Structure 1
């Protein structure tokens, strides 16, 4: 298909679109399931106050709840993907909104289940679990009782739930301010044409070969944010205080432990990540020196970090060729894995090309009872090949989890969500590096790989450290002023990037545009997931079949155990510093390799 003008949905050949008809042949089938959800929700609600009356009743309720969420997740997933095909279609908007409404309705009607289970004594519940059928729910009950001391009375929980919309205010205000109200200046692009800076084109502008374009984009964006410094500080301060409040009322020792407690992850994992990166900053400093040398500049500035250090490499890879490259890259994972990838290509899991109205970016979706669909906007670039491998990693993780686990454990924790996708990327990169002999192309690939380390492992850890510092500041009675946040953020940039770069004053405002600072200690998981993936990819390449078998066991585990344990069973222990140190040691080798080539 190559590079063509943007088409309407109907113009895309059917073989390059995903097969949503295998979910629902028509809207009538979808509506039938909607009716089922309403009826089943009402049926379950009738058990309120009775679910602990016997093991038989408890099992009935849990089975019906599983059935309800199997159906409603399929309904919502279908509506969501139909909307993503073309967001302009009012019919798809209706499907999405109705599906979302049904999801909320199901949650309301089943909200009594966990509090009622928690009202029982643990010994009483263990007695019920001995009954046939209920043993399936052992991990589920363990997880509930683990959090029992952090669950409040029914009245208090109701009050907290009613605060939901108010609690979301800081993030919603940030989103409106950053995405809707702020307007960035117009600058000149490489061809001297006027271009308005937007969130979408900011990084591409920083990747420009023209240094004047990079500098203008950098200064244009952050000068604008700086004008609203106190407003963004007030938003972030409000969000931090909100999370501290919820952590305190739920009797956690800190906001960090409250956030990590949801996945049963120890605070040590967070602290070890920061410690390991601090101990390996020398590799980043050397990479910065190489970047300065490669770009041939007297001073390296913050706006020079994204532009490729290898010029004039234009690698065009049509989709069919991209599929073959991905399959070759994933060869170390063995035939069982690769056969499922081929199945995904053949059975139309993937919506390949952009069309008018289609959602941007890429993701892996679907539900327990559907194909693990993939949305792409493939444009024949090397990045698109990596995106295909990445999303296929997510989809294979979903496929193996759903095929091998009952519905209740058919999903995987957010803590491990990026492991399979990044492992695929690492294996693909290993294949490409081993099969590329042209110096310029090899440099391009090494630069691409090292940028993943910089942006995912180093930068996300810097974000994680920033979060930790600002929460601790508020927890000890401090306040997050614009001046304090700017100073803290700039000092971290100086620590992480070292003496070889001019840390421009305006970078102090970067925290203002990062939405993840409203996600409550979320970003560290990008860095831990990346480290685990690098560790597992090396294990697969080194050990062969035994490594692959352990890895497949991880993919098939879903959420049948806590994420730290699931990873341990695969051979990587995230409670130690080893996985992060191992990933950073690989980064050090890549730095040495690119240094020799430049």
Structure 2
């Protein structure tokens, strides 16, 4: 849906807009709850200095959990109202105020960890094992792991008060990237000017007009090149903030600090990169297939999103997309499908784009609300896949929140992309199952290959970039534009191979990746996708036992460490085996694509 036909939100049918009343009836109700929050924060903060016995500790943990539930609900409502129309000043105000209140809460409660961990070990062990706090035992045991990295109470409070300051590089990046960065128009093959924007760049790169793709590519990265020193400064600031905190907390590196929260060893990260590099020839083979299918003498980076099957132009109504998702998840059982139908019927989903609406898609909500989904549905197969993806997140949240108490309902980021990708894979496997038309089959196979390329290979490349960028700062090396450009260009050359022209502009691509401002997050996409491949294969081939294990995994929330949760589901990421198996699957799909192409 192009910008000039976007409707105002008020013009959309209510059936296609989410119903946020499970959080608050309206903005006025939100304001009332927001006003009461300060008193609740003061009540919980008053426990400072009193956490010496099990009953008091339980009272604090109960009060803290209740307060965090209230804050989460306030935050989610304000955030989702803001995302409905980012131009709306009332929603902007709500979102800004609750964000500041979150910092106040973190600062007010910063006494808890150092106070508790500062107790004598014998007293601390007795508290953790006391029957009164049995509902919080795993959380408290997990907390003990951080004792060597917990500062004094005054130091923790000081560090917490710098929360917004530490986020300043990320906020500066967002302002530059979202608001201030502008691009020159790009000419298409007919000589007409086409607008280039951040949100519109990838759709332009998917256009069949190669002239437009190239000109949009040049324009887009010219914009980044003109501000590359500023982007380098914001990213260097974010890395230095992470490195400084890690040093203050006595971690060996910023990566160790980032991974410690989920109790994931560095070997998982390093094994991922090593295993993907072992399978690099398969990626280079896919590059050659893309070059052959496009029929170009040279494959450039403005060709990497170009459609390979030009004659396939299917559109799916939202109602058809719902049916497709339900058919795809049928192997997961009627109880799973029934909840999906509930999501469709009860307006858990904000479906269509409107003027001012946030782009992209996500699954949100809080412990006490529906697990909402934001979409910008456009009728493409990619939109159908996005619906399946976000429904996977939502089902993970729903089952966790239905099964676990509030303190264990949130699953970790390490497993966050597993359920979403299982759904995506079930959808594409279902579509491929009975598809014999070579043109359509090749289209689907390429979608599958693109998922691997974008989520395993590309995110691992990002992970390698991050690992080296942070290490450079820790070694005292300059993290300037020249160093970042050189590092990124070297990695791109390795990952895409000699059949790809390494356009000069691609060295600036690192500057447009917002996930780099959330240190050591991107690798989880690759491990999550690899896990999802193993799980979806098991669901389709093994059936009921695999489905049972998978549903139990979806219900575990954060009640165990993520590697243990995945082992329960049947996947052990402590070894390279799952990534190896996933990329062997990639090679089989590549075989199928090459064989299907030969039939055309």
Decide whether aligned partners of structure 1 residues 7 and 175 sit closer, same or farther in structure 2, where only a CA change above 3 A counts: closer
Displacement after TM superposition at 1:32 (Å): 4.3
Q: How far 1:264 moved relative to its partner?
A: 1.0
C-alpha contact (below 8 Å) 1:229/1:512 kept by paired residues: yes
Contact 2:321 2:384 in 1 (8 A): yes
State the partner residue of 2:594: 595
CA displacement at 1:101 relative to structure 2: 4.2
The structure-2 alpha-carbon separation of the partners of 1:39 and 1:156, relative to structure 1 and needing over 3 Å to count, comes to: closer
* Structure 1, 400-409 or 182-191: larger mean CA deviation: 182-191
**How far did 1:28 drift?**
4.9
Please say if residues 414 and 524 of structure 2, whose CA atoms lie closer than 8 Å, have aligned partners that are also in contact: yes
After TM superposition, list the pairs within 5 Å mapping 1:311-322 onto structure 2: 311-322=310-321
The 10-residue stretch of structure 1 (352-361 or 211-220) with the greater mean CA deviation from structure 2: 352-361
Q: How many residues align?
A: 597
Q: What is aligned with 1:369? A: 368
Q: 1:282 aligned to 2:281?
A: yes
- Counterpart-to-counterpart distance in 2, 1:220 and 1:96: 33
Matched-pair contact (CA < 8 Å) for 1:225–1:512: yes
Structure 1 residue 197 displacement after superposition? 2.1
The alpha-carbon distance between structure 1 residues 399 and 191, as it changes in their structure 2 partners (threshold 3 A), is farther
Once the two structures are superposed, the pairs formed by residues 4-83 of structure 1 within 5 Å of their partners are 5-52=5-52, 54-83=53-82
Q: Which moved more, 1:522-531 or 1:19-28?
A: 19-28
Superposition pairs of residues 36-435 of structure 1, within 5 angstroms: 36-52=36-52, 54-435=53-434
Question: 1:3: how far off?
Answer: 13
After superposing the two structures, state which structure 1 stretch, 39-48 or 220-229, moved more: 220-229
Distance (Å, rounded) in 2 between the aligned partners of 1:489 and 1:298: 25
Q: Which deviates the most, 268-277 or 199-208?
A: 199-208
- Give the match for residue 521 of structure 1: 520
| 8 Å Cα contact 1:397-1:555 kept in structure 2 | yes
Corresponding residue SS for 1:133: helix
Contact 1:122–1:145, Cα closer than 8 Å, also in 2: no
Counterpart position of 1:444: 443
- Structure 2 contact 231–511 (Cα < 8 Å) conserved: yes
Task: Return the offset for 1:258.
Answer: 1.5
CA distance in 2, matches of 1:282, 1:396: 36
SS of the residue aligned with 2:131?
coil
Which stretches of structure 1, 4 residues or longer, exceed 6 Å deviation after superposition? 1-4
Conservation of the 8 A alpha-carbon contact between 2:103 and 2:163: no
Structure 1 residues 61 and 397, CA, compared in 2 at 3 Å: closer, same or farther? same
Where does structure 1 lack aligned partners over 5 or more consecutive residues?
none
Task: Give the aligned partner of residue 512 of structure 1.
Answer: 511
Between 148-157 and 77-86, report the one with greater CA deviation.
77-86
Deviates more, 1:201-210 or 1:150-159: 150-159
Distance 1:28 1:206 in 2: 44
SS at match of 2:553: helix
Matched, 1:473 2:472: yes
User: In structure 2, the residue corresponding to 1:316 is in which secondary structure?
Assistant: coil
Cα distance in 2 for residues equivalent to 1:86 and 1:214 = 30
Please provide the CA RMSD for this pair.
2.2
In 2, distance between residues paired with 1:509 and 1:58?
Answer: 51
Unaligned runs of 5+ in 2: none
Kept in 1, the 8 Å contact 2:103–2:164? The answer is no
> Structure 2 vs 1, CA of residues 299 and 402 (structure 1 numbering), >3 Å: closer, same or farther?
same
Give 1:501 shift: 1.5
Of 327-336 and 182-191, the range deviating more from structure 2: 182-191
Distance in 2 between residues matched to 1:458 and 1:264, nearest whole Å: 24
State the SS of the aligned residue for 1:328: helix
The match for 2:531 is 532
CA distance in 2, matches of 1:357, 1:487: 37
SS of residue matched to 1:200: coil
- Deviation string for 1:36-77 (max 9, x for gaps)? 43332222222221122x211111111111111112211221
Distance 2:461 2:144 in 1: 34
- With normalisation by structure 1, the TM-score equals 0.95
Call closer, same or farther: CA 1:476–1:5 in 2, change over 3 Å: closer
1:129-182, Cα deviation, whole Å (9 max, x unpaired): 443331111111112110111111223223333433433333333333333333
Contact 2:367 2:406 in 1 (8 A): yes
CA contact (8 A) 2:22 2:368 kept: no
Q: Which residue of 2 aligns with 1:453?
A: 452
Instruction: Assess if the C-alpha contact under 8 Å between 1:2 and 1:318 holds in 2.
Output: no
Instruction: Indicate if the aligned counterparts of 2:207 and 2:306 stay in contact, CA closer than 8 A.
Output: yes
Contact 1:363 1:391 in 2 (8 A): yes
Residues 40 and 67 in structure 2, CA contact (< 8 A), matched pair in contact too: yes
Distance, in Å, in 2 between the alignment partners of 1:423 and 1:107 is 35
Distance 1:27 1:166 in 2: 29
Range that drifts further, 104-113 or 247-256: 104-113
